[in-house]
A and B are shown apart, each in its own frame.
Chain A
Amino acid sequence: MAFDKKQDQRNSIPEPNLLLHVRPELARVFYDLFQAGVFVKAKIGATIQAFLCDGLGLDPHYVEERIQTMFLNGKAVDDPTSAVIPDHAVLALSAAMPGLLGATLRKGSFYSAMRSEISHAGQAAVSPHEGKVLLKLFNLLPGEIGSFLLDLGVWVKGDTLHNLIGKRLNRLAEGCLRAELDGRNVDVASLAHKEWPADQEVFLRVHAE
């Protein structure tokens, strides 16, 4: 099991927010979002381990065994229990990767000395507060925890959402059962024409039924 408890990102749902009720097979359409990253709530100053397990509700065993590769602001992380999330953090996660570099970049890799210049090292103390992390998922992870995170809710840039809906409109029209924009039912097709502010984040939830 990838999850041991579910955290709620929706305590105070900001506008604009979009809730899509979709057939299960449509959820993967949204996995594209994880390549460029989605924003999720996080306790800044917490460790990566705490963020993944306590914040997102992932099973510690899953984090230990399955998430073999972690980058915090582009630096390879060896110990998620000590690496602390700063403000404006970009956290990228992947399952084990092929290639010499794939092996080298793994957390705690036998070959970690080969990439010491880009290894995550000590950092300045961060005072704890609420914030957001740009979370990227690669390789097998979107398929394994993407639906869970989308159900929980993520923030995406308006232009990113616009591009995704435009690109996948046909599949959305087939697989989306109901759409709610800021709590009001809307026609799925109309979403393609909506002017999402490019620099504004939209709170997106995708609920597979």
Chain B
Amino acid sequence: MDRMLRIDMGAEGGPRATVAEVGEYAGLGGRALTSALVSKEVPPLCHPLGASNRLVIAPGLLSGTAAATSGRLSVGCKSPLTGGIKEANAGGQPSQMLARLGYAAIVLEGKPKDETLYKIFINKDGVKITEDNSLKMLGNYDLVDKLKGEYGDKIGVISIGPAGEMKMSAASIACTDMEVRPTRHAGRGGVGAVMGAKGVKAIILDDAGTKMRSPKDPDAFKEANKRWVEGLRKHPVTGQGLPAYGTNVLTNVINEAGGYPTHNFMWGRFEGCAKISGETQAETENARGGEGSATHGCHRGCIIRCSGTFHDKDGHYVTKQPEYETVWAHGGNCGIDDLDAIAMLDRLDDDFGVDTIEMGATIGVAMEAGLAKFGDAQAAINLVKEVGKGTPLGRILGNGAAVTGKVFGVERVPVVKGQSMPAYDPRSVQGIGVTYATSTMGADHTAGYAVATNILGVGGKVDPLKPEGQAELSRNLQIATAAIDSTGMCLFIAFAIMDQPETFQALIDTINTFYGLKLTADDVTALGKSVLKNERGFNARAGFTAAQDRLPEFFKKESLPPHNIVFNVTDKDLDSVFNW
């Protein structure tokens, strides 16, 4: 993984690929690499859909190795949704395949001079870029089926749907899973629109003939990885809860806490939550698809296996198990308590290539605007179909909640830096509101997700019995998350390392024995800080100030039932998050 593939899509005579050494980006992976490259090479004031923007696709440091649960793929660029830097990541097969093919990153540069659509095929023998306008406006599912017909069913595909081609700000980039279905998405920030602007419909990966990446110290790596796997398996979250119920197991608990945004963030509890909970979803999946249908990995080598497969009442495949955020966004947020309708919305989102959080939040805003009634599942499906067709209404919705709120004059629009909030109301858990407000990414729950700061040593050894400030906790979480996002490890590993110091040691040993390094917890902190420094610097140069590090006004004015609280973290505290 010491090469970088750069493709100039606007080169004279057609797209031109160049393979070079990683150079100054050596030793970086995932988010650390994408953010370093975007920060250095993309003019902060450029148009996100213009030739100057770059789309960086990077496996994590441990992707392509035998390390368990290391298959996250990072995608970076200047975001059309936020106007700032963006890193969105996804599971699926491509990260492992790209790493085994030897690439630390693919960088799409420039812009074609016309509307020609391209596909890029990469295997051990090289890179082939081909015009293929027959792919225009294909949904991701039809696209992948067509590509399988051409390249076989052992491929991995990174692709965009019609939303990406139409350069919508909610457009995602799809990655295929183990069944070569386009179900895993780098969803946030409109990265799919940037790929569309580059004229690239699909990147097809074929890693036949390649081998797993070799560690510097194979025996020690094998032993460390064994401890790593054991640690993940024995923890109740990564070894039991997530495999059994998936992330949607959160629905009941967040609802009980009164922090489940309902009817476009009007209330903190949803009456129909038990109908769409993880427990109900898992039971439904197992009943329809057979026992075990609720437990499935998104890529080979994942041992948490938090996903599943959703079938309809007749046993036909609909989509992968919708995640908690998707079930919330299209469910409780829109007053919809029908799992079948939510699964259909998830399928449509994946097929059109849009972010499920952004689309669900947008439909919520549209419902508040009166375009449909809260709870009307069919109306929600119809609105998402407008996006896929690219009608004038669909173009508005496909550009996200902020645009939709503006167009229809809605005040309660739950966005930060133009990006929709995920499934946790910041009035109930104010610390997550600090992360929503200050993250370099816009409102993003995963920006401060690595709940292992105490073990990682980020922020020093804080006394757990002493109430710490919201700002300090959020800062430490954001630093730890940026570091883990760079490894290619799924963020869910944080639950095991939070409770099991020996599992954290196993992770460190896995990295060190693979690369022949002697990383310490301090190095982890330094890496996280450097990522955030690159991102904050880019955003500042793009024109962001403290004014963008704020929640929408209604969170301070409208109290949230049932606990009737408003967001009360001061601006001064928010501005202190990045004082380190």
Chain A interface (Cβ < 8 Å from any Cβ of B): 31-32, 35-36, 66, 68-69, 71, 74-76, 92, 94-105, 108, 110-118, 136, 138-140, 142
Write out the residue numbers on chain A whose beta carbons fall within 8 Å of the beta carbon of B449: 99-100
Write out the residue numbers on chain B whose beta carbons fall within 8 Å of the beta carbon of A117: 427-430, 563, 565, 568
| A98–B428 CB distance below 8 A | no
| A113–B469 CB distance below 8 A | yes
Write out the residue numbers on chain A whose beta carbons fall within 8 Å of the beta carbon of B253: 69, 71, 92, 94, 97, 101-102, 105, 138-139
Chain B interface (Cβ < 8 Å from any Cβ of A): 236-237, 240-242, 244-245, 247, 249-250, 252-254, 256-259, 274, 277-280, 283, 306, 324, 424, 427-432, 434, 445, 448-449, 451, 453-454, 462, 464, 467-470, 473-474, 477, 492, 494-495, 498-499, 562-563, 565, 568
Contact A113/B467 with A136-B252, A138-B249 known, Cβ cut-off 8 Å: yes
Contact A99/B324 with A111-B431, A118-B259 known, Cβ cut-off 8 Å: yes
Write out the residue numbers on chain B whose beta carbons fall within 8 Å of the beta carbon of A103: 451, 494-495, 498
- Nearest 6 Cβ contacts at the A-B interface: A114-B431, A103-B451, A35-B274, A113-B467, A115-B429, A138-B252
**Contact partner of B470 among A76, A96, A114, CB < 8 A?**
A114
* Dominant secondary structure of chain B at its interface with chain A: helix
| A96–B473 CB distance below 8 A | no
Contact A97/B258 with A35-B280, A113-B431, A114-B430 known, Cβ cut-off 8 Å: no
Q: Give bound CA distance, A69 to B250, whole Å.
A: 12
CB distance from B570 to the nearest CB of A (A): 14
Write out the residue numbers on chain A whose beta carbons fall within 8 Å of the beta carbon of B247: 98-99
**Total residue contacts A-B, CB cutoff 8 A:** 152
CB distance from A161 to the nearest CB of B (A): 15
| B492–A98 CB distance below 8 A | yes
Q: Give bound CA distance, A74 to B254, whole Å.
A: 10
| B241–A96 CB distance below 8 A | yes
| B249–A105 CB distance below 8 A | no
| B241–A98 CB distance below 8 A | yes
| A102–B237 CB distance below 8 A | yes
* Additional A-B contacts beyond A92-B256, A96-B237, A117-B563 (14; CB < 8 A): A35-B279, A36-B274, A66-B236, A94-B253, A96-B236, A97-B241, A98-B237, A98-B241, A98-B242, A99-B449, A100-B432, A111-B473, A118-B257, A136-B256
Closest to A91 in B: B256
Closest to A102 in B: B250
Q: Give bound CA distance, A66 to B308, whole Å.
A: 25
Q: Give bound CA distance, A96 to B250, whole Å.
A: 10
| A114–B565 CB distance below 8 A | no
Q: Give bound CA distance, A74 to B432, whole Å.
A: 18
Contact A97/B237 with A74-B256, A140-B244 known, Cβ cut-off 8 Å: yes
Q: Give bound CA distance, A68 to B259, whole Å.
A: 18
23 contacts between A and B (CB under 8 A): A32-B279, A35-B252, A68-B236, A92-B256, A97-B249, A97-B253, A98-B237, A100-B424, A101-B432, A104-B431, A108-B464, A110-B464, A112-B467, A113-B469, A114-B431, A114-B474, A115-B257, A118-B257, A118-B563, A138-B277, A139-B252, A139-B278, A142-B279
Q: Among the interface residues B241, B453, B454, which one has the most CB atoms of the partner chain A within 10 A?
A: B241
Q: Give bound CA distance, A68 to B431, whole Å.
A: 20
| A101–B565 CB distance below 8 A | no
Write out the residue numbers on chain B whose beta carbons fall within 8 Å of the beta carbon of A104: 429, 431-432, 451
| B429–A118 CB distance below 8 A | yes
**Contact partner of B257 among A71, A98, A108, A142, CB < 8 A?**
A71
Q: Give bound CA distance, A100 to B568, whole Å.
A: 20
**Contact partner of B432 among A97, A108, A114, A142, CB < 8 A?**
A114
Write out the residue numbers on chain A whose beta carbons fall within 8 Å of the beta carbon of B242: 98
